[in-house]
Structure 1
Amino acid sequence: MDAEKTAPFELGRGEDACLLLHGFTGSPWDVRPLGEALAARGLYVRAIQLPGHGSTPEAMLSVDHRDWERAAAHALLALRDYRRTFVAGLSMGALLALRLAADYPERVHGLALVAPAVRFKGPRMWLLKRLRHYRLLERVKPWIHKTGTDVSDPAVLAEAPILPAFPSARLQDMWELQDMAMNVLPRVRCPALVAVAEQDHVVDPEGGQVLARGLIASPQVRFISLKDGFHIIPRDKGGPLLASEVGSFFDQLRGDGSPPVSRSHPTPARSGSG
């Protein structure tokens, strides 16, 4: 992977901050357009690179979900001097964001959960998760090879940094994070926006609806479903609409008035074509 492309970044300045968390086998490159849009709205934005990511397949051998959780928590606590702190996570990053909101309610003032990896798409992945305690996949296929990423825009796909392989053992960590995220949902007490891509080939978009309904303690939940683009929404055709929706949502929470105290029902908002 191109180390320059996949490096962590910091953008913008302001009294409020946003922590950006990328997804499994991804990198900060995946979320940079969202970071740029939020910085343009007056937020300080920091995107971290999760341990083992953004370099070589072998780097993924020595990490697990606990390393990713610790890195996310450390990054959040480093933003303690800002007036308000928001967390936006893509895919696995959305699961980590939920954990942060549940564990540090006084630190996280709003969430943007983008293509949350609540459950993978397809019966094969469902079966593998059901049989995960036997670790059959690790014995039969210790490495999973990748040839691309889930982006519909061919120009973006051509320049995307791609980790060519990852240890199948790390799927165990993904499944642990999926279970963790569903368990902590009732403890999340900040407003949340959940965004899914209808054409996602990696995670089941319906999982986003399940997640939104499970945020029973959140005072405000907004659900949007994007017609354009695939899983890596910030980099794809639905990215501009996503950035607008997330930016407006955070702007509302940054206003002088307090966020709504009564729960709003998740309502779909579809992107237009083009």
Structure 2
Amino acid sequence: MDPEKTAPFELGRGEDACLLLHGFTGSPWDVRPLGEALAARGLYVRAIQLPGHCTTPESLLCVGHQDWERAAVHALLSLRGYRRVFVAGLSMGALLSLKLAADYPEQVQGLALVAPALRFRGPHMWLLKRLRHRRLLERLKPWVFKSGTDISDPAVLAEAPILPAFPSARLQDMWELQDAVMDALPRVRCPTLVAVAEQDHVVDPEGGRVLARGLIASSRVRFISLKDGFHIIPRDRGGPLLASEVGSFFDRVRERMARSEDPRASPRRPAAG
């Protein structure tokens, strides 16, 4: 993968910050347009590289979901100096974002879950997950090869950095992360936006609806389904609409929090006596 394209990045300035998390076998390149849009709205934006990503397929041999979770936690805690912190994640990054909000509720003021990888497309992947404890895939097909990524725009697709393969053992980590997210879902309290692509060929959009329904403790949930584009929504034809929706959602959260923090907005107590 091109190290310049896939490098982590920091954009913008402001008292509020947003952490961006890319997906499995992806890179910060996938989420950069969303980061640029949020920075234009006055947020400091940081996108990290998850362990084992953005280099070679072999780099994923010795990492797993616990390493990705630790990296996400470290990045979140590095933003403690900001007034408010939001987290936005794509695909697997959306699952990691949910875990952060559940485990660190005081640090995460809002979430954007983009094409969350709660369920993979197709009966083949469903069956493999059901049989995962037998580790048949790892024995029969230790590597999964990729020739492209799920983007509908041919011009963007031609520029996309592609990891050509990944160890099939990492699917075990994805399935464990999916299970962990379902357990953590009732503990997420912050406002959350869930966005799916109707034409996603990687994950089932129904998984996004499951997450939205399961956010029973969240103070606000918004669900949107985009007709244009495939799985890598921020880079695809639905990217501008996604950026507008996420930016507006975070802006409304910031405005409500600002009003609640303004002492002039607090009702006066009646005088004693």
- TM (norm. structure 2) is 0.94
Alignment of 1:115-134 (within 5 A): 115-134=115-134
Structure 2 CA distance, aligned partners of 1:183 and 1:227? 30
Give the letter for the 2:71 counterpart.
A
Distance across 2 between alignment mates of 1:214 and 1:79 = 28
How big is the shift at 1:116? 0.2
| Secondary structure of residue in 2 paired with 1:193 | strand
In the other structure, the counterpart of 1:2 is 2
Between the aligned partners of 1:60 and 1:72, the Cα distance in structure 2 is 17
C-alpha separation in 1, matches of 2:176 and 2:239? 28
2: CA distance between counterparts of 1:74 and 1:155? 35
**What amino acid maps onto 1:210 in structure 2?**
V
Partner SS, residue 6 of structure 1: coil
2:210 matched residue in structure 1: 210
2:149 counterpart residue number: 149
CA RMSD, 1 decimal: 0.8
Tell me what 1:194 maps to: 194
* Paired position in structure 2 for 1:20: 20
Query: Residue 29 of structure 1 corresponds to which residue in structure 2?
Result: 29
User: Structure 2: which amino acid aligns with 1:61?
Assistant: L
In structure 1, the partner of 2:229 is 229
Question: Which residue number corresponds to residue 257 of structure 1?
Answer: 259
Which one-letter code corresponds to 1:101 in the other structure?
A: A
| Structure 2 CA distance for aligned equivalents of residues 156 and 183 of structure 1 | 36
Alignment match, 1:72: 72
The structure number with the bigger radius of gyration is 2
Q: CA deviation at 1:132?
A: 0.2
Which amino acid is the alignment partner of residue 257 of structure 1? Answer: R
Cα-to-partner distance string for 1:73-94 (whole Å, 9 max, x where unaligned)? 0000000000000000000000
SS of 1:185's equivalent? helix
Deviation by residue 1:213-240 (Cα, 9 ceiling, x = unmatched): 0000001000000000000000000000
Rounded Cα–Cα distance in structure 2 between residues aligned with 1:189 and 1:77? 18
Give the aligned residue type for 2:40.
A
Where does structure 1 lack aligned partners over 5 or more consecutive residues? Answer: 260-274
Distance 2:223 2:259 in 1: 22
| Distance (whole Å) between structure 2 residues aligned to residue 176 and residue 154 of structure 1 | 33
- In 1, the alpha carbon distance for the partners of 2:80 and 2:228 equals 36
Mapped to 2, the partners of 1:258 and 1:148 lie a distance apart of 47
Q: Secondary structure at the match of 1:5?
A: coil
1:164-179 aligned at under 5 Å gives the runs 164-179=164-179
Matching residue's letter, 1:142 = P
| Count of residue pairs brought into register by the alignment | 259
2:135: which partner in 1? Answer: 135
Residue 258 of structure 1: how far off its partner (Å): 4.4
Report the alpha carbon displacement of residue 257 of structure 1 after superposing the two structures with TM: 2.7
Question: What is the SS of the residue equivalent to 1:4?
Answer: coil
Structure 1 letter corresponding to 2:84: R
Cα distance between partner residues in 2 of 1:68 and 1:249: 26
Q: CA offsets, 1:241-269, max 9 Å, x none?
A: 0000000000011112349xxxxxxxxxx
How many angstroms apart in 2 are the aligned matches of 1:99 and 1:228?
A: 28
Q: Does 1:48 align with 2:55?
A: no
Q: Which moved more, 1:249-258 or 1:22-31?
A: 249-258
Distance, in Å, in 1 between the alignment partners of 2:141 and 2:215 is: 36
Query: Which string of whole-angstrom CA distances, capped at 9 and with x for unpartnered residues, describes residues 35-77 of structure 1?
Result: 0000000000000000000000000001000000000000000
Task: Name the CA distance, whole Å, in 2 between partners of 1:194 and 1:202.
Answer: 16
Alpha-carbon spacing, 1:258–1:213, altered in 2? closer, same or farther (3 Å): farther
Tell me the secondary structure at the aligned position of residue 252 of structure 1.
helix
Q: 1: CA distance between counterparts of 2:227 and 2:123? A: 23
| Cross-structure match for 2:265 | none
Structure 2 SS opposite 1:257: helix
Instruction: Tell me the amino acid that sits aligned with residue 245 of structure 1.
Output: E
* Secondary structure, counterpart of 1:171 in structure 2: helix
Q: Distance in 1 between matches of 2:67 and 2:73?
A: 10
